[in-house]
């Protein structure tokens, strides 16, 4: 009960709050001429774990408000995000410093939102491929077709970023050339196809 009381007062004093213009869920007609809810997952608590919370709130026909923070803190962070045809972002993981949401944005298009728990900042990463939640690292693909940069590895808390340059099979983004990728104890393991379509693998330390 104490946690929910704290949340109630925090929501009232959230950073940059925006009020909803809608009192009820809207509906639309799909391709089969059926009436369906547009916001079936909005106005819901998405996460409440170890004092960390995340709430989606309906804001407009093409956007929603996300609220996040820690229940034992007097600050609630708020921001507005767009609603994509693929639906709402999916809660992928969280730790003591951040919440990660992932979203599809079309054919071979995906990205991640990293919601920081110490500030109101939301960081967006196109083509996220691997996470090291213990060390607050994210590896993501390069979407510049003409660039020699294969991957980026970034500490999403500090912003410190490393560029990895390797020969890879060109595609819409460098992640298309990757067969497997994951953080391991001594670095980032990547197995990929080079520009000659030959398999390579390496641990980047």
Residues 164, 204: one domain? yes
In the chain, % of residues over pLDDT 70: 80
- What digits encode the pLDDT tens for the residues 70-120? 988 778 999 999 999 888 999 999 999 999 999 999 888 999 999 999 999
Mean pLDDT calculated for residue range 180-194: 96
155 and 79, same structural domain? no
Q: Are residues 104 and 134 in the same domain?
A: no
Residue 156 covered by a domain: yes
Q: Is residue 104 part of a domain?
A: yes
Shared domain check, 146 and 98 = no
Is residue 35, in this structure, part of any structural domain at all?
Answer: no
34: in domain: no
Q: Tell me: do 93 and 184 sit in the same domain.
A: no
Same domain (yes/no): 54, 150: no
By the 8 A CB rule, do 98 and 91 touch?
no
55 and 154 together in one domain:
no
134 and 160, same domain (yes or no): yes
Looking at every residue in the chain, the average pLDDT score rounds to 83
Q: Judge if 19 and 98 occupy the same domain.
A: yes
Quote the domain boundaries for residue 165.
128-205
* Domain end (from 103, 126, 149): 126
Instruction: Enter the pTM of the model.
Output: 0.80
In DSSP terms, 80 is beta-bridged to 65
At 41 the pLDDT is 59
Number of domains the chain is built from: 2
């Amino acid at each position: 009960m104490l946690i929910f009381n704290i949340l109630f007062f925090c929501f009232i004093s959230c950073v940059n709050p925006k009020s909803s213009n809608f009192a009820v869920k809207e509906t639309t007609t799909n391709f089969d001429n059926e009436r369906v809810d547009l916001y079936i997952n909005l106005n819901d608590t998405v996460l409440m774990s170890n004092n960390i919370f995340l709430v989606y709130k309906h804001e407009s026909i093409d956007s929603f408000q996300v609220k996040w923070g820690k229940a034992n803190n007097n600050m609630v962070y708020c921001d507005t995000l767009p609603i994509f045809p693929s639906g709402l972002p999916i809660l992928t993981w969280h730790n003591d410093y951040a919440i990660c949401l992932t979203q599809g944005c079309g054919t071979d298009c995906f990205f991640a939102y990293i919601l920081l728990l110490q500030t109101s900042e939301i960081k967006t990463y196109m083509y996220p491929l691997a996470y090291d939640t213990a060390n607050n690292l994210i590896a993501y693909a390069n979407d510049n077709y003409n660039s020699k940069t294969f991957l980026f590895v970034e500490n999403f808390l500090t912003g410190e970023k490393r560029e990895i340059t390797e020969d890879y099979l060109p595609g819409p983004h460098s992640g298309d050339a990757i067969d497997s990728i994951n953080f391991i104890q001594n670095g980032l393991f990547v197995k990929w196809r080079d520009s000659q379509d030959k398999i390579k693998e390496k641990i980047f330390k």
